[in-house]
Amino acid sequence: MTLKAVLFDFNGVIINDESIHEQLIKQILIEENLTLKPGEYKEICLGRSDRACVRDILKNRGRVVSEEYLTQLLQKKAHLYVQELEKLEKLPLYPGLDDLIFQVRSRNLKLALVSGAIRKEIELVLERAKLAQHFCVIVAGDDITASKPEPDGYLLAVEYLNQADPKLNLQPNECLVIEDTPAGIQAAKQAGMQVVGVANTYPFHMLQRQANWTVDYLTDLELERVQEVYLQRQCQPTASEC
């Protein structure tokens, strides 16, 4: 087993914008004559797609809406998100992101992004942060029907990476995932991938129980050591040949 690709989550790994999303969900609900209960956003939404988040909150209020109506709400939220980012002089990107991307690219590893966020939001941030050229594959909430903790998004990313480079022959166990929530970690593990949990959203000790590696900050991730673990596992079955 060798490491061939690094797959990033978006919210909570690339950009620190959960407070913006929570405020926008509150705003959307108010326009539906509903309110967001204390702690409800963290319980229902963190690590999951916007669609699953809004659908489940409405369902908890006895409101079952069509997929078309749900799409309208999410498009409204995406529009509001753009407006909020335009107010910011500087995007709240996590420290160490540029260096980690440089480490990945310098090792000729593929880069992909897997998120439940709407593609419009993802592309806006990547373009403004001048990061878009680094991610050859993006799997957004628009591309999948099942939200994390289901593995669909990560498995789809492997499929897209193999389509982009047929010689890659990428397998899930050759991917490393960077996640910040239990739902995201579970999704990656169900897809058969190794996971780094970064304590941007949840405490270190909570992620440590679930992830293969855990760091406080992206700057703490030593990609070289992670690669060594992959190589050691590749050598284990036939140690004398390695």
pLDDT in tens, the chain (242 residues): 799 999 999 999 999 999 999 999 999 999 999 999 999 999 999 999 999 999 999 999 999 999 999 999 999 999 999 999 999 999 999 999 999 999 999 999 999 999 999 999 999 999 999 999 999 999 999 999 899 999 999 999 999 999 999 999 999 999 999 999 999 999 999 999 999 999 999 999 999 999 999 999 999 999 999 999 998 876 655 443 43
Q: Which pLDDT does position 242 carry in this prediction?
A: 35
Other CB atoms within a 10 A radius of the CB of residue 57 amount to 22
Q: Which pLDDT does position 236 carry in this prediction?
A: 58
For 110, phi then psi, to 5°, come to: -75, 150
User: Cα dist. 192→162, 175, 241 in Å?
Assistant: 16, 9, 26
Q: Which pLDDT does position 240 carry in this prediction?
A: 38
CATH architecture of 5-16+92-241: 3-Layer(aba) Sandwich (3.40)
DSSP H helices in 107-203? 119-128, 152-164, 182-190
Determine contact, residues 202/181, Cβ cutoff 8 Å: yes
Q: Which pLDDT does position 232 carry in this prediction?
A: 84
Domain-wise residue ranges, the chain: 5-16+92-241, 18-86
Residue 176, beta-bridge partner list = 6, 194
Q: What is the DSSP letter of 12?
A: T
Query: 2.60.40, 1.10.150, 3.30.70, 3.40.109: which CATH number matches 18-86?
Result: 1.10.150
Q: Which pLDDT does position 231 carry in this prediction?
A: 85
Q: Which residue has the tokens 């963290």?
A: 42
